[in-house]
Chain A
Amino acid sequence: MTGKVLNNRYELVAKAGCGGMAEVYKARCRVLKRWVAVKILRDEFVNDEEFLERFEREAYAAGSLNHPNIVSIYDVGRDGNIHYIVMEYVDGITLKDYIRQNGAIAWEEASDITISILSALHKAHRHNIVHRDIKPQNILITSDNVPKVADFGIARATSTSTITTKVDTVGSVHYSSPEQARGGYTDVQSDIYSVGVTLFEMLTGRVPFDADTPVSVALKHIEEETPTPSDFVSDIPEAMDEIVLRAMKKAKSERYDSALQMIADLDRVRMGKEMYNDSVNDPFATRVIGDLGDEALTGKNSRKKSKKSNARKSKKATKKENKSKSKENKPKSRKKGFLIAAVYILLISVILGGIWFVYDKIVKDLVGAISAPRIEPVEVIRYIGMPIDEAIDDIKEKNLPYLEPMYEYHDTVEKGIVISQKPTAGISIMPGSVAITKVELTVSNGPQKMTIPEDIKFADYLEVELYLRDDLRLKPKEVAEYSDEVAEGRVIRTKPEMGSVVNIGSEVIIYRSLGPHLMDVIVPDLTGDTMDEARHKLLTEGLSIGRIFPEEREGYKGRIVDQEPKSGTAVKELTAVNIYFGDEQDPLGGDGSGTGTNTPDNTRVTRFINLPAQGNFGNKIEVVAYYTSGDTDEEIFLTRIELEKSKFPHAVTVPVSPGVKTTLIVYMDGEFQYNEEIFFE
């Protein structure tokens, strides 16, 4: 299909890939002069009306999702039997290829990619769009390493039969949740499961469940226990294992409730790692890793901590564990006699009291003096929607580390209001300037300004409209207007005028030319005039000079005997008026302008134009008459006039030459009515 142009707009340049349902082409949009990706639905689906309807509907729904990690949809259309979706062209490769090329991805990067995917899903889920086909093949990694999720909510169930003998032809079975494999109800949590599988594959370079046939793969998703990523790649943190396993729980209810929840966990692991790596001696690091351990323990799949994580533990954490051990011992001692118990309790209280005293009075101060004060992580609140000053005040008050806010244009959010934040609200981070995770806020700069280009005068209206709408993101409004200067269909001016700076999304009136506005004028009486006089009269009225009879005369001597249209007729400006000169011998003929000889054989006869009886006409009828002379087919214009029915028959004068057959041809309301042959001896 390469080389084909869809709807005269999208020029298919090269095939970029193909999936089970569609083929993807790199294409050029002729109107907006940019690269796009055009996804063309495979032939076998184009007769499935129900499917097509869903395909279009869902593509439109997905088209409303605007997110940096979602491949934008620009257009949905059909050209004949070709159904297509036009999408943002992404210069990059699929995550599947990325894994193929690099093998297992470092867990930190895998975690970042997963957060991007989840953030895209979060947006979609909030709009009630479930992706249903999350897999590395549907995730693109741009050349700037930005992950982008493609194919949102595009219908997949068809009534058309397809063949899937090999597993790789339906790649998605590797990523579909148990409920999808069963054909059950799918929702947000089904996407979470697929993200879990994708994360697994990034971490280990392999899919968790593989087999020879699609059905066997589906079966494993339903029945088999999910393997642990760190069994394949040893340096994956335990907490990452837990995240994958939780996302991939067989029961939906045991998975993460939302994409956001999973992001929070990934964020926490990322933070722990960074702190541990970058500042081994950082006093806060212990806290965070301790938290992580707790998190891992509270997970449903709690298991014994690995040696590695024990090794990471600080003395403080070990102390804490010992403390809890001693608490566990307490009930045991109660089994002994009451007296003994009482003595023990007394003894223990004294000892504990002593320890507490020593700790509180001495150790605590000592530790406080040696290291930094005790610092607890602080929960990041939601800054989105808050004025930046208030947000910064809050951050300062809590002593949270933060980066200079970034400013971005935003169509709807007022200037100075926070539009996004990192970390997400609800996540706790360490305060103090040494902490690694800093609050990053993006603030609205208000709507983006755009200059209306100055060079669009005389440009094609449609092109300008599309350019303003799609490229400049303005709201063009069409107003049609007459213009003597600008040709029909082209741009005369805009309001606000060209060169003005306006907000993105604001309305711009584009004045489209209807061409010159022609006035109605009354044809002046030219009979008896010389050529010069007639020319002057016609030009002052805004009319033009039509054919001059008799033809083939060099120059026009004499006086005008007749004209067409007749004097007194109302016509549009610029209408050509035909002029008839009399013979030079004519008594009227005087000393006209021009020189040359006149042929005496020009005669005119009067004929009546009749209204055909069978015609179905309104009260006003446009009559146009032509005539041919001799055997030539050339139709020469004779008259055009609008007549009421009562004005028929209408007399016209037809120029004839003796001995030559002249045919009068009559049109009414644009339709041919009849011929009349005239012989003049």
Chain B
Amino acid sequence: MEYAAISDKGIIREKNEDCWNIILDTNGQPQAFIVADGMGGHQAGEIASKMAVEIISNSICCYFKKENANDTIIEVFKDAINRANSGIFHYALKNLDGNNIGTTLTAGLLNNGRLTIAHIGDSRCYLIRNEIIEKLTKDHSFVGELVDKGLINVEEAKVHPRRNQITRALGYEEEILIDFHSLDVHSKDIYLLCTDGLTMKHTSDELLSMLIQEKDLNTILREMVALANERGGEDNITAIAVKA
């Protein structure tokens, strides 16, 4: 499997509050991918995304070490994410005067030829198969839900005053609702996990045409980020691409 990742703070922000990780198995093959886009005042956004990625990565690694086959992959995922949720929530309660912080989370776990995606917030996971791009995740954002309901279109969503309001975030409340999605991995599938810094600046068709180029994934991701920055670069940009 070929894979690549990139994270850039953009050209406006002072800090990169995005965080990502790729977990490899003992053979050096990618087993899990995580992107998280943290938010919250007092520079605490980066704490949220970092904690999410660390806690989830650790939980998943522990699971694979134990090879505890009794749990289904979704249970493993759920457990890891719930730990992260309560970790962040209690951290904010204790250290940030109860100022809520939170993070988006889009994570993929490869197991027995299947990819399971866990998702909270407005980061995204795309599947590119047979030169067709499909968004596998639903945006948990004010505008995302309006688009789903057919009240506004994708382009209107990008200029909506509430375009940056997300309606679900990891670590923001004591309980968290997680979206799961599972699919069989086909050879030559490309999976793209990314934060909204990328998707605000590229249409899905643009993402498709860039990803199906005959170039290595690293180069493609670099070009995507460069173009997003050319178009304003207001937000942090993070992307992981995996080719089956």
- Judged by a CB distance under 8 angstroms, whether B1 is at the interface is no
A47 within 8 A of B: yes
Q: Are B173 and A165 in contact (CB under 8 A)?
A: yes
A-chain residues with CB within 8 Å of residue B42 when the two chains form the complex:
43-44
In the assembled complex, B69 has its CB within 8 A of some CB on chain A: no
Chain B residues near A180: list those with CB within 8 A. 161
Q: A165-B173, A222-B151 are in contact. Are A159 and B41 (CB under 8 A)?
A: no
Contacts A182-B151, A219-B151: A162 and B165 contacting too (C-beta < 8 A)?
yes
Asked if B45 is an interface residue, CB under 8 A from chain A, the answer is yes
Which residues of chain B (24-45) have a CB below 8 Å from chain A?
Answer: 37, 39-43, 45
Cα-based distance from A162 to B166 in the complex (angstroms): 6
Cβ of A213 under 8 Å from chain B: yes
Residue among A158, A215, A222 with the highest chain B CB neighbour number at 10 A: A215
Any A CB within 8 A of the CB of B119: no
Closest residue of A by beta carbon distance from B140: A165
| Distance to closest chain B CB from A215 (angstroms) | 4
Q: Does B204 have its Cβ within 8 Å of any Cβ on chain A? A: no
Q: Closest residue of chain B to A45, judged by CB?
A: B41
Contact between A163 and B165, CB atoms less than 8 A apart: yes
Q: Which B residues from 164 to 179 make CB contacts under 8 A with A?
A: 164-169, 172-173
Nearest residue, chain A, Cβ from B10: A159
Cβ–Cβ contact B166 & A214, under 8 A: no
User: Distance (Å) between the CB of A212 and the closest chain B CB?
Assistant: 11
Is residue B84 contacting chain A, with contact meaning CB distance below 8 A?
A: no
Cβ–Cβ < 8 Å partners of B166 in chain A: 161-164
Interchain CB contact (< 8 A) of A215 among B100, B145, B157, B172:
B145
B146 to chain A, nearest CB (A): 6
On whether the beta carbons of A161 and B152 are closer than 8 Å, the reply is no
CA–CA, A222 to B166, complex, Å?
20
Q: Does A157 contact B (CB under 8 A)?
A: yes
CB distance from B176 to the nearest CB of A (A): 10
State the interface size on chain B (CB cutoff 8 A).
Answer: 39
| In the assembled complex, B234 has its CB within 8 A of some CB on chain A | yes
Expressed in whole angstroms, the minimum distance between the Cβ of B153 and any Cβ of chain A is 10
Q: Evaluate contact between A161 and B142: CB separation under 8 angstroms.
A: no
Q: Which residue of A lies closest to B148 (CB)?
A: A215
CB under 8 Å from chain B, chain A span 102-133 = none
Give chain B residues whose Cβ lies under 8 Å from the Cβ of A17.
none
Measured CB to CB, the closest approach of chain B to A163, in angstroms, equals 4
> Out of B12, B40, B149, B162, which one reaches A183, CB within 8 Å?
B162
**A-B contact count, CB below 8 Å?**
94
B8 within 8 A of A: no
Could you tell me the distance in whole angstroms from the C-beta of A167 to the nearest C-beta in chain B? 10
Knowing A183-B161, A183-B162, say if A214 contacts B41 (CB, 8 Å). no
Is B108 at the interface (CB under 8 A from chain A)?
no
- Residue numbers in A under 8 Å from B100 (CB-CB): 163
Q: Does B156 contact A (CB under 8 A)?
A: yes
- Within the assembled complex, what's the spacing in Å between the Cα atoms of A331 and B37? 74
Q: Contact at B167–A215, with CB atoms within 8 Å? A: yes
CB distance from B121 to the nearest CB of A (A): 9
Alpha-carbon gap, A42 to B43, bound state (A)? 11
Which of B45, B143, B234 is within 8 Å of A44, CB to CB?
A: B45
Q: Which of B159, B165, B235 contacts A164 (CB 8 A)?
A: B165
Interface flag for B181 (CB, 8 Å): no
Bound state CA distance, A214 and B39, in angstroms? 19
B14 at the interface (CB under 8 A from A): yes
A42 surroundings in chain B (CB, below 8 A): 41
Q: Does A540 contact B (CB under 8 A)?
A: no
When chains A and B are docked, how far (Å) is the Cα of A74 from the Cα of B201? Answer: 39
Q: Which of A49, A156, A164, A184 gathers most chain B CB within 10 Å?
A: A164
The answer to whether B39 touches A49, judged by C-beta atoms less than 8 angstroms apart, is: no
* Set of chain B residues within 8 Å of A218, measured between Cβ atoms: 142, 146
Asked if B152 and A182 sit within 8 Å, CB to CB, the answer is yes
Per-residue CB contact flags for chain A residues 539-558 toward chain B (1 = under 8 Å, else 0) read 00000000000000000000
Is B160 positioned at the interface, with any CB of A under 8 Å from its CB?
yes
Interface centre among A161, A182, A213, A219 (most CB of B within 10 A): A161
Can you spell out 24 A-B residue pairs with CB atoms less than 8 angstroms apart? A44-B39, A44-B40, A47-B12, A47-B13, A47-B15, A157-B161, A158-B164, A161-B39, A161-B196, A162-B164, A163-B172, A164-B165, A165-B167, A165-B169, A170-B165, A182-B146, A182-B152, A183-B146, A183-B160, A183-B161, A213-B145, A214-B142, A215-B142, A215-B149
B residues in contact (CB < 8 Å) with A: 12-15, 37, 39-43, 45, 100, 102, 122, 142-143, 145-146, 149, 151-152, 156-157, 159-169, 172-173, 196, 234-235
With A163-B102, A165-B169, A213-B145 already in contact, 11 other A-B pairs whose C-beta atoms are closer than 8 Å: A44-B40, A44-B41, A44-B45, A47-B15, A156-B161, A161-B164, A163-B39, A163-B40, A165-B172, A182-B152, A214-B167
| A-B interface, 8 closest residue pairs, ranked by CB to CB distance from nearest | A183-B160, A157-B161, A215-B145, A43-B41, A44-B41, A163-B169, A161-B39, A161-B164
